[in-house]
Amino acid sequence: MTATKDVFFKPGKVSAREKAETTDHTARAIIDAESVARDKKTERLKQARLAKEAEETVEDAPKAAKPRKAASKK
């Protein structure tokens, strides 16, 4: 490791404005990433729900009624 002033000394002071900008940028990036992930999850769940509903309607379709036997009289 090369000995430089950056290794031994802290970098100069960062202004409050720069800290705020950095924090704002980072927070917005995190919020945007969460929003994209939430939208993807919502879309995936919607597709799964629609597929399940379509599958259920096919299964719930009325089946051909079986002819009833005539009641026998005794």
pTM of the predicted model, to two decimals? 0.55
Which residue bears the tokens 């009624």? 65
User: Worst-scoring range by mean pLDDT, 7-21, 24-38, 45-59, 60-74?
Assistant: 60-74
4 DSSP assignment: -
Return the beta strands (E) in 1-74 as ranges.
none
pLDDT for 1 beyond 60: no
62 falls in which pLDDT band (50, 70, 90)?
Answer: low
Note the pLDDT tens digit of each residue in 5-37.
666 777 678 899 999 999 999 999 999 999 999
